[in-house]
Structure formats: structure tokens, C-alpha cells
Amino acid sequence: MLGWDINSLNQTNQSGNRRISSSLRQRAWIEISASAIRRNVKALRHILAPQTQLMAVVKADAYGHGAVSVAEIALEAGAKGLAVATLQEGIQLREAGINAPILVLGACHTPGEFEAIAHWQLQPTLCNPQQASLCAETVTALGQSLSVHLNLDTGMSRLGTPWHQAVEFVQQVKNSRSLQIASIYSHFATADDRDRTIVDLQHHRFQDAIAQLQAHNIPIPRLHIANSAATIMDSAFHYDWVRVGLALYGLYPAPHLQSLLPLQPAMQVKARITQVKVIPPGTGISYGYKYMSDREMQIAVVGIGYADGIPRNLSNQLQVLLRGQIIQQIGAITMDQLMLDVSHLPHVQPGEVVTLIGQDGAISISADHWADSLGTISWEILCGFKHRLPRIMSD
């Protein structure tokens, strides 16, 4: 098993919901809303044609949300397949008893990897003729057959065979008795941009590759090219499957897509205040004295830091929520703790809960806010939360 075992961290109450033990919950944790994931799946399925199926992308521990739990919820809500990045991620899901089709998006390059793929009944991505040959030889030697997905590079310049070589590549795999082509797919590089020039070019290349296969009387398997952004943007990209990651977790790949689909963020990051103190004017706070008090201040120490995934570069920029109000973080964020200016709040006590990402009252802070401050993307923020933060699944 990879990472932490949520069952070893959680207890179960009478209604069947997992809850963290009080001793672990004292410091910091991440709450995941199962109902939000269900609603997001429902919203996504609503915009798909009946023949288009939803593939839930649960790589990188479901973008930090907990792969096994999210996979189970997404499948129950109507997803028909899963996608992971690595062999180990696929094995984790199989060991948890998940039997749905699992596409491994990353490339495998050794006989041992393909043997494990076959043993665990995963579905690998084949990116080039050499890899396809090794996969076929390995599976044939095992006396088994294997469903595979073929990746065409239409302009991402990452994994995949160039789209204009699709006929030769597909024909090679089709001629192997031990391999069955489950799908042909590609990946957009700029689907979250307003300018559709590159997206339309890639789509045209994908269509051209399919037309060439048809011209050579090669049967066309299932097709997919849409990520979250393309799924939301245009039904012309839906084909037989859509591969949805970020939108599954309630975030939008770009602001201009927000009006097209209602989504609800599934993750909240919370921590408890561990100490409250009053400091005089001219007092340095935290490492390097990057913040000096200009007045008598009441500060609260919170038990969460960069070892949990709170970016240190947010020091003196981070805002959190407490009692339904926006609170400013001050001083350098440290490995395990950060400090807040709570001078304007009366009677702040250790044990009070601070929301770093999520909603408190009428105010919310999202991973997008952090990403904008850091000049990065929300994907990186979600994937950055460490596993020493327990994931707590709520209904």
C-alpha cells in the first residue's frame, strides 16, 4: 500500500462516517466532502452525451484528496473508469478491492512492469512501437491477453507516437494476438486558454489520424481527448470517454469556464490554534524577523506549516479564516507552525479551528487564491499537501 492507511487513522461513528480521533485532530487535517464529489460527477455527466463515459482521474492520490476513497465515490456516482499516472497507483486501487477499468497514463518500459500490469489487470498506455513490442512479447510469454490504450501526440510534445504515424502504430498493435486496443487517445496542451487556435489544431490532427485509420479499413476503438477544460468547453471533444481530474474535485481549469458548469470544491484544509500570546511593539516574529510588530499585538500560533504543504513563499501573504473573518498570517511560515495577527478578535483560545482552504461562514478561500499569489496553478497546490495531514471523508 502507498502512503497512509486512512483506516488506521479514523474511527467510525454510528452513522458509518469516518472521523479522526480527537488526539490526531488537535493539530491539522484535511476534510474531503463526498457529497461535493458526487455533485461534481453528476454535473459533469449531465453535459455528456449518453454514449460518452466519464473517466475519473485519481492520479497523485486523487490530487491530494485520497485516491481510494475518491475512486469509490466517483464510481458510485456514475464514473465508469479510472485513470492513474503510475503502476503503483493502479496497484493501490486494486489492493483496495476496486475492480473498475484502470488506465495507467504513464509509460511502462520493462518486462516486470508489464507483468505487473497484466497480473493486476490494469490497462497500460502504449506510446511508441518499441514499447508496444515489449508489451506484446511480455504478455504473450505469460500466455495472457491485455487491453491497451494507444497515445497519439497531436501537439503536447510529451508521451505518444506522432499523429501522422498512427496507421503504422495502430496496425502493429492490432496484429498482436495478445493485445486488444481499448482506445486511442491524445491530450490537449492549451485547453484552458481562451484562444482555441492550438486546441483546434490538435483536434484537427486527431481527427486526421482517425480518418487515416478509417481509410486503411482499420476498426476504430473508443476515442478520448478531453481533459477537464475540454470537457467543459465543447461537447465536440467528448467522443467515447472524457478524462476528468481537476473538475472532479470542484475547481475550474480557468476562470472563463466557471459560468459553464456548477462545481463545488471538495477539499478544506483546517488546523487548530495551539497558543495565544500578546507581544509588545518592535518584536520580531518567526525566523529571520521578516515581520516586526508595529504595536502591541495578540498573535495566535497555528499547528501547521510547510512540512504539511503550506508554501513558505506565502509568508506574510497568506490569509486564513477564523470565526467567519479573514485573518492575516504574519512572519515566516515554519516547518510545523505559522502565526496569525488576531489582535482584533476577543478571547481567542487554543483549540479554535482555523480554515486555510475552504469556507467559514459567508467567506471562502480556495486553492486558486494561493495559486494566484504564488504565480502557479491550483493543481500544484492540491497535490502539495503532505500525507501527515489526515484526510477526513465527510458525507
What's the DSSP call for residue 194? S
Q: Answer yes or no: 287 catalytic.
A: yes
- Alpha-carbon distance of 345 to 383, in angstroms, equals 33
DSSP string of 53-118?
EEEEE-HHHHHHT-HHHHHHHHHHHT--EEEESSHHHHHHHHHTT--S-EEEEEEP-SHHHHHHHH
Buried b (16+ CB within 10 A) or exposed e, 139-157: beeeeeebbbbbbbbbbbe
* Catalytic one of 42, 277, 287, 289: 287
CA quadruple 244, 247, 249, 252: dihedral sign: positive
pTM for this structure? 0.92
- Alpha-carbon distance of 242 to 44, in angstroms, equals 10
Q: How many CB atoms lie within 10 A of CB 135?
A: 25
| pLDDT tens digits in sequence order for the chain, 395 residues long | 333 343 444 443 332 334 445 444 579 999 999 999 999 999 999 999 999 999 999 999 999 999 999 999 999 999 999 999 999 999 999 999 999 999 999 999 999 999 999 999 999 999 999 999 999 999 999 999 999 999 999 999 999 999 999 999 999 999 999 999 999 999 999 999 999 999 999 999 999 999 999 999 999 999 999 999 999 999 999 999 999 999 999 999 999 999 999 999 999 999 999 999 999 999 999 999 999 999 999 999 999 999 999 999 999 999 999 999 999 999 999 999 999 999 999 999 999 999 999 999 999 999 999 999 999 999 999 999 999 999 999 98
Q: Answer yes or no: 59 catalytic.
A: yes
R_g of the chain computed on alpha carbons: 24
Bridge partners for 162 per DSSP: 153
Residue spans of the domains in the chain: they are: 34-250, 267-365
CATH number of 267-365: 2.40.37.10
Q: Say which CATH superfamily domain 34-250 falls into.
A: Alanine racemase (3.20.20.10)
* Catalytic one of 59, 249, 252, 306: 59
